[in-house]
């Protein structure tokens, strides 16, 4: 059982279990008693604790990594150093590695590849802007959360591992499948080495295969340098041509022709996501050859064994990227077929003496190149087997000098000694200072080439200097065109770029943009924003809905109510006749209250009064006449009812005797006095007369 399990680290971290063991550290699962959360702790192995210089660099670089704060990078909570321990406290990830995911699925669709690769690129972009190079990007170091979020792990740790003289052979062989050619050689590297590794990861995601396989690490590295892998679209059907361009451009062995930044790679992925037919035209410029080991136009032997017969010279051209990014993409024509760069043919034959001279010169050059190739192979063997120092240099007779260690020294002091102590070098300060809490302002935090490296006399040494905390620039993000994208996708992109709290959503109607899709943003596309800026996202609610306030129709006749509602653009629903104290024929209730704002075309139900039903008085059985008249028909007569009509287009008159309707008549146009003859029981009768729902009563004689 591990001696740390069950112990309390730093007075707060309870060690629970081992999560994994690497070449230089052991990772434990622990619980933080102070914040009551589970964490991962990466603890330096005991064999490294004897090297004070290594421990110092481990601590300083770990602190630098701890300052990284990005949604796609595993968070570092704490860095600690005691007399007997060095450890890093990190976010505990609930998920699986990309390697495990690929083993389950075999390969991924190009859309899923873009989804994961963009997140990796954003994490790398953030780290590179802080001067941190990962140096070991591979599926094993990429974690996938349950919600699809990508977390890149081991930032900054790979840099330390790669500088050690001993490494676990299995780890080296695992990483060599993804290693950049310049990194394998032992040359100075920059952020573009991570982009090469990401290109290999994308290749593996798309095809389920690695671009290069071999029996040994050396064989694999030599393929990285000289071989051309099959295009992903040739290995796996359905991969767009544009994805071929992106992957092969990221994997270009010549670092000067590779993507210049992770942000540039991200933008190309964004373009192909929005238009799968996009073609970038990189493939013709990214042919492999001698770019990583030698100068661009040198020759190498055709045979790996003898190096005696030189190949004809290859010519490469750098893609022109001087136009604005968007414009340049639009102007590039779609190639009819993939271009291949053939060896340059000689146009003019020289004399035999001249040819002999050229062959002698080429032979000498070939000998020099053999030495360079041997250097590269030795460097890879050192990476794999360990215990050997990286050998750097050529076969020429130029004087080599050792690079001093400038870390932690004051830049002004160094520059003052340029012509005395450091006359063998040209020392320059990097154009941008970077804040680092482990150093004082003005001290060197990074140098290129690194200390103790053998370089040619007169080489340039670039020193990155610590700036003030106030100078630390917040990472910015250039807004792309979000119009006609789903709001959910736009929010995901903003969260992915650390802008989750920087936007607000405003809804508005649109006749052209579908509901739930983005109309525009403020600020607009192309604007550089940070987490301090507010972004307004205007989202479509669909076509504009015209509304109207419902008028009051109670107290009106049914016809008048219908006419008024129709004039407002409303429709008539059901007409319901009910007993009510209101006059007969009058609307006493409407289904939607007055002044309620509704969409035009809404149906309104109307309730119309039938009056109050009067109770019938039972006949008196003792009434003498009733007994005599039980079987007689009551006598009826007529009466002429005079009605004064209002001046209007039409008017409706209804006459009732009790609950019995005697007459109903509509006059159009209305106005003046009209006479209506009605039939009823002989004698004087009280009649109720409704004129457009307004009641009057009068007595009339029927005879």
Report the catalytic residues. 136
Place of tokens 């990429």: 142
Cα angle vertex 465, ends 464, 471, to 5°? Answer: 115
What's the chain's length in residues? 703
Which residue, 340, 382, 484, is CA-closest to 165?
382
- 62 exposure class (CB count in 10 Å sphere: 0-12, 13-18, 19+): buried
Report how far residue 328's alpha carbon sits from residue 505's, in angstroms, rounded to the nearest whole number: 33
The answer to whether the bond into 503 is cis (omega within 30° of 0) is no
Q: How far does CA 490 lie from the centroid of its chain?
A: 7
The phi and psi torsions of 414 (rounded to 5 degrees) equal -65, -45
The answer to whether the CB of 496 falls within 8 A of the CB of 460 is no
Tokens representing 220 are 């694999």
Residues with Cβ within 8 Å of 322's Cβ and at least 6 positions away in sequence, in order, are 328
Tokens representing 93 are 């990830």
Q: DSSP 3-state assignment of 35?
A: coil
The answer to whether the CB of 72 falls within 8 A of the CB of 128 is no
Report how far residue 123's alpha carbon sits from residue 132's, in angstroms, rounded to the nearest whole number: 11
Half-sphere exposure of 310 (CA within 13 A, CB side): 19
The answer to whether the CB of 469 falls within 8 A of the CB of 433 is no
The answer to whether the CB of 407 falls within 8 A of the CB of 445 is yes
Tokens representing 117 are 């690769």
Q: How far is CA 211 from CA 63, 306, 409, in A?
A: 35, 27, 43
Beta bridge partners of 549: 597
The answer to whether the CB of 461 falls within 8 A of the CB of 447 is yes
Which residue, 207, 184, 178, is CA-closest to 120?
178
The answer to whether the CB of 346 falls within 8 A of the CB of 125 is no
Longest dimension (CA), the chain: 159
Q: How far is CA 107 from CA 59, 116, 657, in A?
A: 38, 13, 89
3-state helix, strand, coil in the chain (%, to 5): 30, 25, 45
Which residue, 428, 394, 401, 433, is CA-closest to 414?
428
């Amino acid at each position: 059982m591990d001696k740390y399990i069950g112990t309390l680290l730093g007075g707060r971290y309870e060690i629970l279990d081992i999560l994994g063991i690497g070449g230089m550290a052991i990772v434990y699962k622990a619980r933080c008693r102070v914040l009551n959360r589970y964490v991962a702790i990466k603890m330096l192995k005991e064999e490294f604790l004897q090297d004070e210089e290594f421990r110092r660099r481990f601590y300083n670089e770990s602190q630098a990594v701890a300052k990284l704060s990005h949604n796609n990078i595993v968070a570092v909570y704490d860095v600690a150093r005691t007399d007997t321990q060095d450890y890093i406290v990190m976010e505990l990830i609930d998920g699986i590695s990309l390697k495990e995911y690929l083993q389950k699925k075999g390969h991924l669709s190009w859309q899923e590849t873009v989804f994961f690769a963009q997140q990796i690129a954003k994490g790398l972009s953030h780290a590179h802007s802080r001067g941190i190079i990962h140096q070991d990007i591979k599926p094993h170091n990429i974690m996938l959360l349950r919600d699809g979020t990508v977390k890149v792990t081991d930032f900054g740790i790979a840099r330390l591992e790669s500088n050690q003289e001993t490494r676990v052979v299995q780890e080296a062989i695992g990483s060599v499948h993804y290693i950049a050619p310049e990194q394998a050689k032992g040359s100075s590297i920059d952020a573009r080495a991570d982009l090469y590794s990401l290109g290999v990861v994308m290749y593996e995601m798309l095809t389920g295969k690695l671009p290069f396989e071999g029996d040994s690490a050396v064989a694999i590295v030599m393929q990285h340098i000289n071989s051309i892998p099959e295009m992903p679209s040739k290995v796996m059907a359905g991969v767009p041509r544009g994805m071929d361009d992106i992957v092969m451009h990221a994997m270009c062995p010549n670092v000067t022709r590779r993507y210049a930044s992770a942000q540039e790679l991200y933008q190309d992925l964004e373009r192909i996501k929005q238009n799968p037919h996009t073609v970038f035209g990189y493939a013709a410029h990214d042919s492999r050859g001698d770019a990583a080991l030698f100068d661009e136009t040198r020759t190498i032997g055709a045979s790996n064994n003898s190096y005696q017969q030189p190949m004809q010279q290859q010519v490469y051209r750098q893609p022109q990227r001087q136009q604005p990014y968007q414009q340049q993409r639009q102007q590039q024509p779609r190639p009819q077929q993939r271009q291949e760069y053939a060896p340059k043919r000689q146009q003019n034959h020289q004399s035999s003496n001249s040819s002999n001279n050229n062959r002698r010169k080429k032979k000498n050059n070939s000998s020099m190149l053999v030495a360079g190739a041997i250097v590269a192979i030795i460097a890879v063997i050192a990476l794999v087997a360990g215990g050997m120092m990286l050998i750097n240099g050529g076969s020429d007779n130029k004087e080599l000098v050792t690079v001093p260690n400038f870390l932690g020294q004051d830049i002004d002091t160094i520059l003052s000694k340029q012509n005395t102590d450091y006359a063998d070098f040209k020392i320059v300060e990097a154009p941008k200072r970077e804040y680092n809490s482990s150093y004082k302002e003005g001290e060197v935090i990074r140098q290129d080439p690194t200390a103790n490296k053998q370089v040619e006399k007169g080489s340039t040494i670039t020193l990155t200097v610590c700036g003030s905390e106030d100078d630390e620039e917040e990472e910015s993000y250039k807004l792309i065109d979000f119009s006609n994208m789903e709001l959910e996708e736009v929010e995901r992109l903003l969260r992915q770029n650390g802008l989750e709290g920087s936007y607000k959503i405003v809804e508005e109607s649109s006749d052209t943009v579908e509901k739930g899709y983005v109309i525009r943003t403020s600020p607009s596309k192309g604007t550089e924003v940070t987490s301090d800026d507010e972004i307004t996202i205007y989202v479509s609610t669909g076509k504009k809905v015209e509304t109207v306030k419902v008028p009051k129709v109670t107290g009106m006749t049914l016809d008048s109510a219908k006419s008024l509602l129709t004039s407002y653009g409303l429709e008539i629903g059901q007409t319901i006749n009910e007993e009510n104290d209101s006059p007969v024929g009058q609307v006493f209730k409407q289904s939607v209250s007055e002044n309620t704002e509704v969409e035009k075309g809404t149906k309104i139900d109307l309730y119309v009064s039938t009056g109050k039903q009067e109770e019938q008085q039972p006949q008196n059985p003792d009434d003498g006449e009733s007994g005599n008249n039980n079987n007689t028909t009551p006598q009826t007569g007529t009466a002429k009812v005079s009605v004064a009509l209002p001046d209007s287009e039409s008017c409706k008159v209804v006459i009732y005797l009790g609950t019995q309707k005697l007459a109903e008549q509509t006059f159009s146009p209305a106005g003046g006095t009209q006479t209506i003859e009605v039939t009823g029981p002989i004698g004087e009768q009280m009649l109720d007369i409704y004129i457009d729902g307004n009641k009057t009563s009068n007595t009339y004689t029927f005879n």
